[in-house]
């Protein structure tokens, strides 16, 4: 069961942030997980040592309450402020020379911004300083959209303080960090999950806003060079591997995906990691199914502390020129993982 934050603890958290302590240092001090600290910093909007000035905060309130597109003059400044609780240094990766015998894709999903797990995401960003990915696939639920969820429609207390526009600013600030680390000409794919689908359900009830606040526009996905799959349950293919957000649930969800789709498939949605192989016609390769894990908080408020088998994680997929592929599922534990003999720690 997640521990509740008392007034006193929130005061301590604020003081530690103002001292410039890292998430991990505060976690040790308060005897909580880095994930829980990261979540509380965002939930209670704990500022760092550079709080907004009165003028800036007045301007921000004005901008956030204005239902226009994000491409206003304050956009860059707001993204910078959105990063006030985290920062990540970028190192330069040398471009590889010569023709490679395979291509490398980063496959990830279920960030659920603003319920994302920043240490988990940062650990991947650190790895991207060492690996130049030829492609990236985001399989959906990048945004959480609690602010427009039909589940929260009548829950005024739960949705208090949730601002769609602020969520988009945070979402953009994180996508910027990925873009900085992806090479020019990177093959980029972005799928909508059931949470992005809530946008369409919101427009269904508020048709006067049609054409506004669309995730593709507000996250600037086309400008960033993403091919966007805006239909929930869409499937696309690279080589011999298919990608989707995640269609089936239940105890044997990977088996179910393979049985129904009858092809190699990788997906998110279930927030847990699993790999499974099923029979194929004789003398052919067995069919693989892969569940990625998530990059969100392992205990978001709506779970109300219920136990779950979620794992933070992602996948690296290598494609041979003929379309054959190899999948490496990587589990992120408390914001860090080991890959290729190196620890990538997102708590720093």
Q: Enumerate binding residues for Fe ion (CB under 5 A).
A: 110, 141, 193-194, 269
Nearer to Fe ion by C-beta: 134 or 141?
A: 141
Rounded distance between C-alpha atoms, residue 161 and residue 144, angstroms: 14
Task: Report the residue closest to Fe ion, judged by CB.
Answer: 141
Query: Shortest Cβ distance from residue 115 to Fe ion (Å)?
Result: 9
Contact 267/329 with Cβ under 8 angstroms?
no
Query: Shortest Cβ distance from residue 302 to Fe ion (Å)?
Result: 11
Query: Shortest Cβ distance from residue 318 to Fe ion (Å)?
Result: 25
Identify which of 34, 37, 35 has the alpha carbon closest to the alpha carbon of residue 9.
37
In angstroms, the Cα distances linking 94 to 132, 181, 183, 216, 340 are 8, 11, 10, 31, 17
Nearer to Fe ion by C-beta: 194 or 201?
A: 194
Rounded distance between C-alpha atoms, residue 73 and residue 207, angstroms: 28
Contact 291/268 with Cβ under 8 angstroms?
yes
Nearer to Fe ion by C-beta: 201 or 280?
A: 201
Query: Shortest Cβ distance from residue 108 to Fe ion (Å)?
Result: 12
Query: Shortest Cβ distance from residue 298 to Fe ion (Å)?
Result: 12
Nearer to Fe ion by C-beta: 26 or 193?
A: 193
Nearer to Fe ion by C-beta: 5 or 302?
A: 302
Number of H helices, E strands in the chain: 10, 13
Contacts of 319 (CB under 8 A, 6+ apart): 102, 103, 105, 238, 239, 241, 325
Query: Shortest Cβ distance from residue 113 to Fe ion (Å)?
Result: 11
Nearer to Fe ion by C-beta: 310 or 319?
A: 310
Helical segments of 83-136, H only: 118-128
Nearer to Fe ion by C-beta: 70 or 143?
A: 143
Query: Shortest Cβ distance from residue 257 to Fe ion (Å)?
Result: 14
Rounded distance between C-alpha atoms, residue 143 and residue 18, angstroms: 28
Contacts of 22 (CB under 8 A, 6+ apart): 347, 348
């Amino acid at each position: 069961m997640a521990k509740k934050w008392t007034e006193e603890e929130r005061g301590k958290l604020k003081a530690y942030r103002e001292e410039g302590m890292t998430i991990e240092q505060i976690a040790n001090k308060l005897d909580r997980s880095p994930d829980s600290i990261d979540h509380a910093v965002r939930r209670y909007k704990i500022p760092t040592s550079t709080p907004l000035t009165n003028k800036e905060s007045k301007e921000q309130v004005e901008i956030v309450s204005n239902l226009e597109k994000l491409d206003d003059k304050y956009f860059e400044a707001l993204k910078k402020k959105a990063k006030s609780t985290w920062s990540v240094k970028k190192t330069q990766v040398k471009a590889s020379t010569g023709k490679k015998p395979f291509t490398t894709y980063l496959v990830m999903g279920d960030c659920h911004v603003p319920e994302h797990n920043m240490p988990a995401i940062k650990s991947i960003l650190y790895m991207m300083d060492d690996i130049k990915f030829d492609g990236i696939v985001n399989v959906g639920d990048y945004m959480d959209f609690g602010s427009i969820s039909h589940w929260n429609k009548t829950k005024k207390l739960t949705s208090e303080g949730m601002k769609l526009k602020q969520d988009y600013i945070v979402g953009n600030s994180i996508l910027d960090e990925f873009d900085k680390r992806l090479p020019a000409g990177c093959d980029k794919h972005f799928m909508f999950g059931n949470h992005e689908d809530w946008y369409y359900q919101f427009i269904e009830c508020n048709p006067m806003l049609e054409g506004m606040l669309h995730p593709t526009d507000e996250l600037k996905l086309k400008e960033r060079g993403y091919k966007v799959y805006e239909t929930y349950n869409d499937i696309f293919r690279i080589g011999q591997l298919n990608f989707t957000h995640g269609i089936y649930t239940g105890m044997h969800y990977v088996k179910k995906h393979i049985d129904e789709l009858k092809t190699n498939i990788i997906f998110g949605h279930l927030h847990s990691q699993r790999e499974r192989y099923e029979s194929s016609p004789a003398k052919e390769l067995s069919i693989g199914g892969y569940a990625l894990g998530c990059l969100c908080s392992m205990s978001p408020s709506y779970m109300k502390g219920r136990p779950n088998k979620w794992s933070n994680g992602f996948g690296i997929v290598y494609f041979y020129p003929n379309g054959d592929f190899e999948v490496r599922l990587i589990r992120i534990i408390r914001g860090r993982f080991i890959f290729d003999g190196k620890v990538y720690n997102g708590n720093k």
